[in-house]
Homo-oligomer: A and B are copies of this chain.
Amino acid sequence: MKSSARLGRPVNADAERTRRRILLAAMTHVAEVGYSRATMKSIAEQADLTSAAIYRYFPSKADLVLQALDDVFADVVGRLEAAAFSVEGLRARLVALLEEALACMADHPSMTRFEASLLFESTHSPEFAAAVGYRRHTEETLYRRLVVEAVDTGELPVGTSVEAMVDLLTSVSWGLTHLSVTATADRHRAAIRLTESLLAQGFPTGS
């Protein structure tokens, strides 16, 4: 009854497109107002849909948002990793990583806020703990690789506490993320550059 043609899977490319529209809307809206204040209705409106329709694609609000996080995360972590390992030397790698983070933010403006929202929320509600735990784990893994390799190559002194170093990097990453939420893009960039130079040369001295 349908016109012939359409070889392969004519599967609803439409459906997939809608799915992504919802995902994007969720990300944007949560980034704007935070998870708790975000409503399915608003997300749906931003995706040109009814809230009921969303349930065709995602079983619940939490799930929708979690999948959005996964999507974003998969994209970002890949880029960060690639950037970090495109150069040699711990400091250079950290700088590259930070620069790439900056680039990511430019590409998806609401991404950082969105991530921050969810990670923050995860502290409070168990439903997010798992997914966010994984995300954190992945990020830490990346840092760990950097640190371990640096110890191996002698760039960091033997006996360095990998654990603590990873936490430091995580902390720095978080601090900058938060800054991106509260400060202008310019100030954020400036702070990143300063962090880079701090990592590269230590705290500046006047003498």
Q: Which A residues are closer than 8 A to B by beta carbons?
A: 32-34, 36-37, 91, 113, 116-117, 120-121, 123-125, 136, 150-151, 153-158, 160-161, 163-165, 167-168, 170-176, 178-179, 181-183, 187-188, 190-191, 193-195, 198-207
Within the assembled complex, what's the spacing in Å between the Cα atoms of A176 and B167?
A: 9
Q: Is the pair A182, B136 in contact by a Cβ cutoff of 8 Å?
A: yes
Which of B117, B158, B178, B202 is A206 in contact with, Cβ under 8 Å? B158
Question: Max chain B CB contacts within 10 Å: which of A181, A182, A205, A207?
Answer: A182
Smallest CB-CB separation from A32: which chain B residue? B124
Q: Which residues of B are found within 8 Å of A188, using beta-carbon distances?
A: 167
The interface residues of chain B lying within 8 Å CB-to-CB of A198 are 168, 198, 202-203
